[in-house]
Chains A and B, each alone.
Chain A
Amino acid sequence: MDCDICGKHAKVHLTQLVGGQIKKITLCDDCAKEKGVTDPTGFALAEMLLGKTPGKVVPAAPAVAGSGRKCPTCGFTLEDLRRIRRFGCADCYNTFRDDVNQMLRGMHKGPKHCGKVPAGMMELHERTQRLEELRGKLDQAITSENYEEAAGLRDEIRQIEIRAAAAKQTTDDSLP
């Protein structure tokens, strides 16, 4: 068998499971060493095998007509995403939100974060979640022509938004 990287006689056979399928990689001693495959405890092996995308390969970014959109913070474009399969900065996620949502389909257990939240963002996070929930209910109420309930929901949303604006005003005022 020949090395998958350089074609020399290969001695190292790696096996890993990806999506229920066994994948084999064959390497010569030199390439194995270079790629860190001799690491007996496998951590480095994992990183080598998977790049930095354990278990799953990032699907190519969707081709978007009229792209050329740029992240205002870091200048990243969709072309860059297709090329390096990584983002340029945290703000890219906002810039390309629709494309991100498309990419995430099937990559994770779900589309929304339900883990740890930074302590300083807890209040805002809970409010955001609550608003989203209420807006969903409002849509439903309107669809089912339940206008009384819809009015109640709309009031509740408005109140939360007013309180949020007031809170924001206070923090902004307290800034130096």
Chain B
Amino acid sequence: MMRFTTLIKNPADWMTGEGADNAIVLTSRIRLARNLRGESFPGWAKKEERRHALEVMRPAVEGLSVMKDAFSQELDDLTSVQKQVLVERHLISREHAARGEGSAAVIERRQSIALMLNEEDHLRMQAIRPGMSLRGAFESLSAIDDELENALELAFDHELGYLTTCPTNLGTGLRASAMLHLPALVLSDQIGQVLQAVNKIGLAVRGLYGEGTESLGNLFQISNQSTLGESEETILRRLERVISQVATHERNARDKLLEDDPAMVSDKIGRAYGVLRHAWIIDSKEALTHLSLLRLGGDLGFLPQDTVKTCDALLMDIQPAHLQLHSGRKMTPEERDSIRAEIVRGRLQSLEAPDIRSTRKKDESDPDPEIL
């Protein structure tokens, strides 16, 4: 079995975004909730019942073909920083990290598949992929689900589908979500409208905002809310359609900003570059705001295309537990702010100043991925 340090040494496959068009859709994530028949749900179970459920599940999960040489650990055996790193990488949930005896995580080597044992449900299985790839993620997870079904007695009802601890997850037990980077919709003040529209179709949208209307990182997650009464296929199809529409809106907003106000865009990206290259103390909010703009600069051709990837890796690595893991010790927030600045400066060292004279360096013959 893999050790924690080995697991975490490399960035997750879905973070490097290799081969995916992730300028707007950063990641796709699928989660399936499953439970054992005849065993109390983890939150209601007594300690020995939780242990028993774990003993039943763990060999089945570790025996999955994708879990060959995987990381498998009881959460009680990890330090709080280690658990926090797993949370920051989305490999376990915050709730899972907080759970007591009998909870475990089994994570595939490349960190694309992660299974939580004894979270809110007995089993929470997750697949993450870079870019827009909900279907691919679902298919790989569903195959794992099929494999587990042979080894475990899962709780299933002919009317209610897969039985979950919380009735909001009944039916398919499927939560599909995509993380979108929408800076141009925010800059052009259209974001509220777009998100309202998405919400009206019955999808959940969440964003993280800073002071006032200024949003933080310009990152938004869109996911399904309903899990019962329609098939996985229907859920995924609607989500895919909406996400692609939002991405098109963002693409159009980017084009329009460049056309209407290139000076403003250049100024924002130039300032972000300046701060990130030269700051010695930076808190996570400020870092996020500027990384979002630098990322936009990379996509618009002000900066080399691989700037997008650099920014994505930094989004992960500047989080508190990652910083502490990096430096090998506990740090005060002030210490973190200076280490954070140091890491950002280091990663951007060879990044040349944005080319703000040309509005768009991208080859005109580049096919627009949204049209394809």
A interface with B by C-beta (< 8 Å): 11-20, 22, 29, 33, 36-50, 52-56, 58, 73-74, 76, 80, 84-91, 93-94, 100, 103-104, 107-121, 124-125, 128-129
Q: Are A117 and B288 in contact (CB under 8 A)?
A: no
Q: Are A125 and B158 in contact (CB under 8 A)?
A: yes
Please report the C-alpha to C-alpha distance between residue A107 and residue B41 in the assembled complex, in whole angstroms: 21
The listed residue with most A CB atoms (<10 A of its CB), out of B37, B43, B207, B228, is B228
What residue of chain A has the Cβ atom nearest to residue B225's Cβ?
Answer: A55
Q: Are A38 and B37 in contact (CB under 8 A)?
A: no
A28: min CB distance to chain B, Å: 13
Query: Known: A17-B204, A76-B44, A89-B41. Is A116-B167 also a contact (CB below 8 A)?
Result: no
Please report the C-alpha to C-alpha distance between residue A74 and residue B38 in the assembled complex, in whole angstroms: 9
A56: min CB distance to chain B, Å: 6
Q: Are B40 and A52 in contact (CB under 8 A)?
A: no
Query: Known: A40-B288, A44-B87, A88-B40. Is A108-B229 also a contact (CB below 8 A)?
Result: yes
A91: min CB distance to chain B, Å: 7
Q: Does B39 contact A (CB under 8 A)?
A: yes
Report chain A residues within 8 Å CB of B175. Answer: 54
Q: Which of A19, A46, A52 contacts B221 (CB 8 A)?
A: A46
Besides A20-B199, A52-B120, 20 other A-B contacts (C-beta < 8 A): A17-B204, A17-B206, A18-B204, A33-B320, A38-B284, A39-B87, A46-B177, A52-B165, A54-B168, A73-B40, A76-B44, A87-B166, A108-B171, A108-B227, A109-B230, A111-B229, A113-B160, A113-B170, A116-B142, A116-B161
Q: Are A113 and B206 in contact (CB under 8 A)?
A: no
What residue of chain A has the Cβ atom nearest to residue B92's Cβ?
Answer: A44
Report chain A residues within 8 Å CB of B157. Answer: 90, 93-94, 113
Q: Interface 1/0s, chain B 200-232, versus A by CB < 8 A?
A: 101011111111100011011101011111111
Please report the C-alpha to C-alpha distance between residue A114 and residue B227 in the assembled complex, in whole angstroms: 10
B96: min CB distance to chain A, Å: 9
Q: Are B219 and A42 in contact (CB under 8 A)?
A: yes
Q: Are A108 and B170 in contact (CB under 8 A)?
A: yes
Report chain B residues within 8 Å CB of A86. Answer: 41, 43-44, 120, 165-166
Report chain A residues within 8 Å CB of B210. Answer: 12-13
Q: Does B76 contact A (CB under 8 A)?
A: no
B242: min CB distance to chain A, Å: 13
Q: Are B142 and A115 in contact (CB under 8 A)?
A: no
Write 27 A-B pairs (CB below 8 A) sorted by A numbering: A12-B210, A13-B209, A15-B209, A16-B205, A17-B204, A29-B333, A39-B208, A41-B219, A41-B316, A52-B95, A52-B165, A55-B225, A74-B40, A86-B166, A87-B41, A89-B41, A90-B37, A90-B41, A100-B160, A104-B167, A104-B228, A109-B229, A109-B230, A112-B159, A113-B161, A121-B156, A124-B158
Report chain A residues within 8 Å CB of B315. Answer: 40-41
What residue of chain A has the Cβ atom nearest to residue B44's Cβ?
Answer: A88
B118: min CB distance to chain A, Å: 14
Report chain A residues within 8 Å CB of B253. Answer: none
Q: How many residues of B contact A (CB 8 A)?
A: 82
Please report the C-alpha to C-alpha distance between residue A13 and residue B192 in the assembled complex, in whole angstroms: 15
Q: Are B27 and A36 in contact (CB under 8 A)?
A: no
Q: Which 9 A-B pairs have the closest CB atoms?
A: A110-B229, A113-B161, A90-B155, A55-B225, A109-B229, A108-B228, A115-B172, A55-B204, A88-B44
Q: Are B149 and A112 in contact (CB under 8 A)?
A: no
Q: Are B205 and A115 in contact (CB under 8 A)?
A: no
Report chain B residues within 8 Å CB of A11. Answer: 211
Q: Are B211 and A13 in contact (CB under 8 A)?
A: yes
Please report the C-alpha to C-alpha distance between residue A107 and residue B95 in the assembled complex, in whole angstroms: 23
Query: Known: A40-B217, A116-B232. Is A45-B155 also a contact (CB below 8 A)?
Result: no
Q: Does B305 contact A (CB under 8 A)?
A: no
What residue of chain B has the Cβ atom nearest to residue A48's Cβ?
Answer: B94
Report chain B residues within 8 Å CB of A44. Answer: 87-88, 90, 93-94
Query: Known: A39-B319, A113-B160, A119-B149. Is A17-B35 also a contact (CB below 8 A)?
Result: no
Report chain A residues within 8 Å CB of B229. Answer: 108-114
